[in-house]
Chain A
């Protein structure tokens, strides 16, 4: 009756070195042991960066938004750029955990927990930026849809209000999805640990025992959550793109923005997964779990999305030319050869040309090469948002309203600090929760069968 399933057969191909379920528990739970010096050093660096972050922000709160480079005509600068960047980073986590789950991609199991953690921490980081950007942060609660003193409600026709709905929903749902997925693994960690850790894990696991009843409902709930998260992830970056596309600013007002932003988000997010997975694999010796095949699959995803992104860039230029609209035409000419030419070319080289290397199998199969490519993409995707936001605002219709924007040292401090904030949570995560999904990995490792072991091994 019990037979080896298709996914287990394919799993045996992706994880040839794992034979028994106990090995998965042992190897993954080992990662939660006492951290080494390198981990503490990185954590220290992140704490330092968080210090820079809050010092910069504190200074801005004390002195006012004038300490940033934001002024007329460029009212959106590095903060909104970084907000979009981090929301984008978050997207690939949900792609891997929800969309590839629905598509039954057999390679997602090893990377999905780390990618999902990246989603939660990415949205957590992104969520700070609207608060920083509004300047008077003590009024940030105005974002919540409630009537003000004059009983005036927010304007539900505004994409900025949509964004509040989209981002808060995204954060809530991805955090819930992440937590739910960890419950069986935390239960495994609870059963393998002692002392204070056992108590902590017992609380988090909520008494999960892995009974048939629990798994039965869990499986169904997980599919529904994946089904809800899939359209959600596509909607979130679409709504973010409408923050721009709904405005009649040259360079923003385009119908391709939603798919273009979603592809870009997945592109940057998958690159970030590689950036994080490479050191994770090295430090925790996860070669049996994160094989070259996984990196190959991830780089193919990057290749696909980079083509979509490059196509969107070219379409934008084509549409500007074909529209015959002088401000639009000048906008795109200005992007390539104007004041911000360096940002545009950084974007085009990093996102359009560097990923071309991934056509070569040798690059896809070389971990150091992939790491370097992923760093280029991370940089390129930050610049993409910078180009979209800053070049458009600095050069709208009327020449008297043109101006230049340069991020101030405070904005730079907050940008750098945001990486530290993200890194801090990610480092804590790698030591507190199983960074690779134990239960899901076992689904692709063939279970022990008496009939296989007695009748010698078949197939």
Chain B
């Protein structure tokens, strides 16, 4: 979405016959994909809105109930827990991934022989399967004899956290794992952003005697603003819809300590068959993501205007 180039408008109004031909030809190209897209993405998306206002279990006939699902939602403690946990996850995942990705990108933005190897290595976690990632991190976080706690004990931490086994530390464990997994992807975006900063800026700053920190603060960060904006938007969308990592790592537990909104949608809708109710949760999730994204775009516009 960052750079969608729109072609210039045609200068002369095309001939009518030609216009019809273009419509047919254009649609003939789009159709094979569009049929699948309309049927399996667009239609379900629209249906999701309607479903939220229905009372529909997998066995009964659908019935229009208006806002009843949302009233029920408001009183549902699971929903409050899931909402809080989703915000918790986002509040941890977004800033930490951002900082880690930027740090990696700056560290790896050098002209050194073999730097490509280091970049590749940092990117690899991102394309590793979630299940493998979850298995590995769950054992790393093993409360009694896992490497993480062995290291912490060696460093003198008397009673290290119980990580995935504890209600307080399960979410931080998930966040740490997700930051580790995702930072390579955003690092790539930041590397691309860093490459667009003209070298002359740094040279001029050096001549003026700017320190490394001043150069970072006054050149690198401002020049990276478009990238940062894009990264934040993507991270936000990604954070609010977190599901698979939770399902494979903790399945919402222990207790409800890592239950998130997307998981509530899945449980109520697909496991329990409460289609209407779960779609209400889904709609709330969608509205949150939409609102946050729109607000971010607004803030960005205002800042750019200055």
Does A associate with B in a complex?
Answer: no
